[in-house]
Amino acid sequence: MIRFSLTCDKDHGFDSWFPSGEAFERLQAQGHVACPVCGSAAVQKALMAPAVRPARKEEAALRSPATPVEEALAALRRQVEENSEYVGMNFAAEARRIHAGDAPERAIHGEARAEEAKKLIEEGVPVAPLPFLPVRKVN
């Protein structure tokens, strides 16, 4: 498939996809390519810049290095994940159980809705938000 930038005789610009350059030429000659704005079949290719992707090595080199903040967040994430247990959506319940002495004392991390986190704080349960999403929610 190839995309062409096109213009009609009324100077309306638009893009359209074709199976090949020859397919465009054939459809244009038969009057089957028309302007979506005015319906004119007097359509010509417009000048367009080619879409060229850099090689993978060049693409990797073009990516900006991690900022100090990004590096600090990544280090924090590693520290939390290595030294605590992920309890998922059971975070509020498990934090309450640990605070009450009904579960073994240990470091945990997980997920809680804002209302649940607020209630934990009001109940005196020591919690803090983390500045990153759980791994399962990251693409």
Q: For residue 86, what are the contacts with CB-CB under 8 A and spacing of at least 6? A: 108, 109, 110, 134
Residue positions counted in the chain: 139
Please tell me the predicted confidence (pLDDT) of residue 64: 67
Q: For residue 137, is pLDDT > 80? A: no
Q: What is the pLDDT of residues 84-101, one digit of tens each?
A: 999 999 999 999 999 999
pTM attached to this predicted model: 0.52
Question: Which of helix, strand or coil describes residue 70?
Answer: helix
Q: Mean pLDDT over residues 102-130, rounded?
A: 94
Confidence label for 12 from pLDDT (cuts 50, 70 and 90): very high
The band of 107, judged by pLDDT with boundaries at 50, 70 and 90, is: very high
| Amino acid found at 121 | I
Q: What's the average model confidence in pLDDT over 66-84? A: 90
Compute the mean pLDDT over every residue in the chain, rounded to the nearest whole number: 87
